[in-house]
């Protein structure tokens, strides 16, 4: 368990920029439990650098031509208690090359739905589907079904914990075709991270560096997740 629960300071220290040019991801909050989560997958070496969670506040994703400084600007403003529109506007500053990026912003304690922005230079297929407390977005996908299936899987499993819903959504995206550059591998890297206010820690599981043509990263991550859930169940 110590290997899968990482303190906030370590998480914030290691999430540097990566250039994930083809990705699908889900950002979500649980208003009832106060949990905040992100899951994503890509045909790149390591996709986890697209994401930041600000405990008690919300989450940010910067994917496609992912820019670390755009994401950190969003994190800074989220810490300051700014609203999603102001955060997104700041991240769209020209110095961050926003037209090459796809942004997702979600806040925990607000009535505002998540915001997603897809730059004009992002390759097809790209797009998003936004709910009241979660959003699914992607780029360089075989079609919109990746996003639609992930959205449906998350939304139709509201009786389950947030982490499980995120994993189901990511898996549904894989089954719909994932990152089109990876063909039937669907993704070479994948991750899930969930902030749990009960213990002030972030669960993070990740698969990265899978060789092209190797095992599907989301399937491997799902196996990790199933093992983690069993460990948790054994401790209850």
Q: What is the pLDDT of residues 104-134, one digit of tens each?
A: 999 998 888 999 999 999 988 999 999 999 9
Strand-pairing partners, residue 140, are: none
**Structural domains for the chain:** 5-235 (3.60.20.10)
Q: Is 19 exposed, middle or buried (0-12, 13-18, 19+ CB in 10 A)?
A: middle
Residue 97, pLDDT > 80, answer: yes
Q: Which residue has the higher pLDDT, 48 or 173?
A: 173
pLDDT higher than 90, residue 34? yes
In this prediction, residue 137 has a pLDDT band, given cuts at 50, 70 and 90, of very high
pTM beyond 0.85: the answer is: yes
What's the mean pLDDT in 67-96?
A: 96
Of 46-50, 58-62, 79-83, 152-156, give the lowest mean pLDDT range.
46-50
Is the CB of residue 51 less than 8 Å from the CB of residue 60? yes
The stretch 152-179 carries a mean pLDDT of 96
Distances (CA, A) of 187 to 60, 89, 108, 158, 224: 21, 30, 29, 26, 16
Structure tokens at 232: 């948790």
Q: What pLDDT does 234 receive?
A: 61
pLDDT of residue 22: 57
What is the rounded average pLDDT of the residues 32-59?
Answer: 95
CA distance linking residue 215 with residue 34, whole number of Å? 34
Query: Is it the case that residue 186 has pLDDT exceeding 50?
Result: yes
pLDDT digits (tens, 9 = 90+) for 194-211: 999 998 888 999 999 999
Identify which of 25, 78, 16, 30 has the alpha carbon closest to the alpha carbon of residue 53.
78
Q: What is the pLDDT of residue 199?
A: 87
pLDDT at residue number 17? 38
pLDDT of residue 4 exceeding 70, the answer is: no
Distance CA 148, CA 152 (A): 6
Q: What's the confidence (pLDDT) of residue 5?
A: 41
Q: What percent of the chain has pLDDT over 70?
A: 89
Q: Which residue has the higher pLDDT, 140 or 8?
A: 140
Give the pLDDT confidence score for residue 159 in this predicted structure: 96
């Amino acid at each position: 368990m110590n290997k899968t629960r990482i303190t906030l300071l370590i998480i914030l220290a290691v999430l540097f920029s990566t250039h994930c040019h083809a990705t699908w991801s889900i950002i979500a909050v649980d208003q009832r439990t106060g949990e905040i989560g992100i899951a994503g997958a890509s045909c790149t070496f390591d996709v986890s650098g697209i994401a930041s969670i600000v405990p008690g506040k919300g989450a940010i994703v910067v994917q496609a031509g992912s820019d670390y400084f755009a994401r950190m600007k969003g994190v800074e403003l989220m810490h300051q208690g700014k609203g999603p529109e102001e955060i997104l506007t700041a991240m769209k500053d020209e110095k961050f090359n926003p037209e090459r990026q796809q942004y997702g912003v979600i806040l925990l304690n607000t009535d505002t739905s998540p915001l997603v922005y897809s730059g004009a230079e992002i390759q097809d297929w790209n797009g998003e589907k936004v709910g009241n407390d979660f959003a699914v977005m992607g780029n360089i996908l075989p079609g919109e079904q990746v996003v639609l299936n992930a959205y449906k899987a998350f939304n139709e499993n509201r009786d389950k914990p947030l982490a499980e819903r995120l994993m189901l959504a990511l898996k549904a995206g894989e089954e719909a075709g994932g990152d089109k550059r990876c063909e039937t591998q669907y993704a070479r890297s994948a991750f899930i991270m969930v902030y749990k206010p009960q213990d002030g820690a972030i669960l993070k599981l990740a698969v990265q560096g899978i060789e092209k043509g190797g095992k599907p990263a989301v399937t491997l991550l799902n196996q990790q997740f199933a093992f983690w859930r069993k460990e948790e169940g054994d401790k209850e």
